[in-house]
Amino acid sequence: MLSMRAPQVAYKIYTKTGDKGVSSLYSGERRAKTDDIFNALGTSDELSSHIGVALEYCASPDLQELSNRLQKIQCILQEANSVIATPRRHEEGVDKKMEFSPNYTVNLENWIDEMENELPKLTSFILPSGGLASSHLHVCRTVCRRAERMIVHLSSKKECNSDVSIFFNRLSDFLFTAARFACFKSGKKEFIYKK
Ligand SMILES: Nc1ncnc2c1ncn2[C@@H]1O[C@H](COP(=O)(O)OP(=O)(O)OP(=O)(O)O)[C@@H](O)[C@H]1O
């Protein structure tokens, strides 16, 4: 039993129920682990894990607020996962907490604007670079975009709330800006594209 459900009682991590390549959605429905929903869930989980690594590189006092925001994003990803694991057509009978607030996206936009106010204007293409914190935030950005592609696919099949795909779209912009911010605050240099 991994991150999807908080344990209520003592439990074993290996229930063995997934050994045949099938697992449970939040709605209780069982599907093959190759299903698009598990691909999206696994990618969102991978993103949160990369954010965990990035956090280790963001330990300086100048990056404290960014760290707090990244931790909040890890919690929001848990909520997004619950929504992804509840395909829309199975929502009847599932409690209201499956809704995903568009305010999470508005918060990201405010955080992006705040960081951009402190950053030098972008005049060329930058390459993933700028120190460990920055480079790893670029890794987070690219994994986020992969998750977004999978969630957009679910939305196009009406299996996922579009507020979730919009959040992932904005999250990649946040992570791009956060990477530049971490580089700037760490006194590092971002490499720019040269022909
Ligand atoms: N390979 C996977 N990739 C993405 N999501 C998964 C994967 N396997 C399971 N999940 C999701 O994560 C939840 C928790 O994972 P868990 O490992 O407990 O599932 P399982 O493989 O079905 O069970 P067990 O490991 O006990 O046999 C599952 O209920 C399912 O929603």
**The pLDDT value given to residue 1:** 45
**The pLDDT value given to residue 4:** 54
Beta carbon of 75 within 6 Å of any ligand 1 atom: no
What pLDDT, in 10s, does the model give residues 42-51? 999 999 999 9
Beta carbon of 101 within 6 Å of any ligand 1 atom: no
Q: Whose CA is nearest to atom 18 of ligand 1?
A: 1
Q: State how far the Cα of 190 lies from the Cα of 77, in Å rounded to an integer.
A: 28
Q: Give the whole-number percent of the chain exceeding pLDDT 90.
A: 85
Q: State how far the Cα of 26 lies from the Cα of 11, in Å rounded to an integer.
A: 18
DSSP category for residue 126: B
More confidently predicted of 91 and 1: 91
What pLDDT, in 10s, does the model give residues 77-124? 999 999 999 987 655 555 554 789 999 999 999 999 999 999 999 999
Residues 6+ apart with CB under 8 A from 76: 104, 167
Average pLDDT over residues 130-134: 98
ipTM summary value: 0.89
Strand partners, 81: none
Q: Is the CB of residue 108 less than 8 Å from the CB of residue 181?
A: no
Beta carbon of 68 within 6 Å of any ligand 1 atom: no
**The pLDDT value given to residue 92:** 58
Whole-number Å distance, alpha carbon 102 to ligand 1 midpoint, is: 27
**The pLDDT value given to residue 180:** 98
Q: Is the CB of residue 66 less than 8 Å from the CB of residue 181?
A: yes
145 SS3 class: helix
Q: Is the CB of residue 3 less than 8 Å from the CB of residue 45?
A: yes
Beta carbon of 171 within 6 Å of any ligand 1 atom: no
Beta carbon of 19 within 6 Å of any ligand 1 atom: yes
Average pLDDT over residues 19-36: 95
**Domains in the chain with CATH codes:** 29-88+101-108+124-185 (1.20.1200.10)
Q: State how far the Cα of 159 lies from the Cα of 90, in Å rounded to an integer.
A: 9
